[in-house]
């Protein structure tokens, strides 16, 4: 049986995600959007690229969810993007309604799917999707840590003038200003980052990572990042569909791990055919624990707002 991935939201992130899934021949793709004609046009355009690019997958665009039935994975990118001066948290209530509706319809058609959330504010949208779908925590995963880690690795490689491939890093916590780049676990081909540059430079790279999304929003003015978020999402999709069991930092619902319960927070997990197959609880020092708790507290604030709204 052919694999199927539904991508909800045919904007820049969704369209790029759909195109990358097709180009890698990971699955047939259904592109869903509420705007009439947009998913149909973009889907057809991607399909017409197939003879040139050399991929054999089916791509269809639609405004409904009938075509999404029995999807293996549903990626939700739909929502309002950030604009200059806005935080991810400013999007909370507007995108809650978008994600709630998309999750309800997608889960009804694909009750066995794995949900990957991309919409901001990411951690709160994951909480929304799990609440609405009723899916087990292994089946609801947020894309944030992969992107934040990619940004951290990029800045390190640029600063040290080394290959991106040689930089190993991990960013934990919520997808926001309180994210936690783990400097102690960061290295270049096994050489600790602390041996390659000074603390001031490390602090600057950490801050740039936290501001990574805002930096792009500032340049674009009318939207937010989409190439790197799409690439990060597809790495997760590929690990699941190919059962690669990659260990990636993803937002998952914690049930006591790291002393956190009932919140989606970015931590290292193993991604395979069943979704989240293992949560790795690494030993953090006191400062890292404090930073992760601060990040979780920020997520809790958003969830509390949603709980009050939906109670």
CATH 3.40.50.720 domain span(s) along the chain: 4-142
CATH topology of domain 4-142: Rossmann fold (3.40.50)
| pLDDT of amino acid 88 | 61
Question: How high is the mean pLDDT of the chain?
Answer: 95
Cβ-contact 181, 145 below 8 angstroms: no
Q: Per-residue pLDDT tens for 3-45?
A: 999 999 999 999 999 999 999 999 999 999 999 999 999 999 9
| pLDDT of amino acid 310 | 77
| pLDDT of amino acid 70 | 98
Q: Per-residue pLDDT tens for 274-307?
A: 999 999 999 999 999 999 999 999 999 999 999 9
Q: Per-residue pLDDT tens for 41-62?
A: 999 999 999 999 999 999 999 9
Identify the CA nearest to 176 among candidates 103, 265, 244.
Answer: 265
Phi, psi dihedrals of residue 40, rounded to the nearest 5°: -65, -45
Q: Per-residue pLDDT tens for 95-153?
A: 999 999 999 999 999 999 999 999 999 999 999 999 999 999 999 999 999 999 999 99
CA distance linking residue 311 with residue 299, whole number of Å = 18
Rg from Cα positions in the chain? 19
CA distance linking residue 187 with residue 207, whole number of Å = 18
Least confident of 65-79, 84-98, 186-200: 84-98
Q: DSSP class of residue 82?
A: P
Helix H or strand E segment including 113? none
Which residues are catalytically annotated? 175
The angle formed by the CA atoms of residues 208, 209 and 215, to the nearest 5 degrees, is 60
In the chain, the percentage of residues whose pLDDT exceeds 70 is 98
Architecture of the domain whose range is 145-310: Alpha-Beta Complex (3.90)
Identify the CA nearest to 4 among candidates 53, 62, 52.
Answer: 62
Global model pTM greater than 0.75: yes
Backbone region of residue 248 per phi and psi (left: phi > 0; alpha: psi in -120 to 50; beta: other values):
beta
Identify the CA nearest to 20 among candidates 70, 64, 77.
Answer: 77
207-221: buried (b, 16+ CB within 10 Å) or exposed (e) per residue? ebbbebbbebbeebe
pLDDT band at 187 (very low <50, low <70, confident <90, very high): very high
């Amino acid at each position: 049986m052919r694999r199927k991935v539904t991508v909800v939201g045919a904007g820049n992130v969704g369209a790029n995600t759909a195109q990358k899934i097709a180009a890698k021949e990971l699955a047939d793709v259904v592109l869903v959007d509420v705007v009439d004609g947009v998913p149909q046009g973009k889907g057809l355009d991607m399909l017409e690229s197939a003879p040139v690019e050399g991929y054999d997958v089916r791509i269809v665009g639609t405004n409904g969810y009938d075509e999404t039935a029995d999807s293996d994975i549903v990626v939700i990118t739909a929502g309002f993007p950030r604009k200059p001066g806005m935080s991810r948290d400013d999007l909370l209530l507007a995108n809650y309604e978008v994600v709630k509706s998309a999750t309800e319809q997608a889960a009804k058609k694909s009750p066995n799917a794995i949900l990957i959330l991309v919409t901001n504010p990411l951690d709160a949208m994951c909480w929304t999707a799990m609440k609405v779908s009723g899916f087990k925590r292994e089946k609801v995963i947020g894309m944030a840590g992969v992107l934040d880690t990619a940004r951290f690795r990029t800045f390190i490689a640029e600063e040290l003038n080394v290959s991106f491939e040689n930089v190993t890093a991990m960013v934990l916590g919520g997808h926001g200003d309180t994210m936690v780049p783990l400097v102690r676990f960061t290295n270049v081909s096994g050489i600790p980052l602390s041996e390659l540059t000074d603390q001031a430079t490390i602090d600057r790279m950490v801050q740039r990572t936290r501001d990574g999304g805002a930096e792009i929003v500032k340049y674009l003015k009318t939207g937010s990042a989409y190439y790197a978020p799409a690439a990060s999402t597809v790495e997760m999709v590929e690990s699941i569909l190919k059962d690669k069991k990659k260990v990636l930092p993803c937002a998952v619902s914690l049930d006591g791990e790291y002393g956190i319960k009932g919140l989606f927070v970015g931590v290292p997990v193993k991604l395979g055919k069943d979704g989240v197959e293992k949560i790795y609880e690494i030993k953090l020092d006191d400062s890292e624990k404090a930073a992760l708790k601060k990040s979780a507290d920020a997520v809790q604030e958003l969830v509390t707002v949603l709980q009050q709204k939906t109670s």
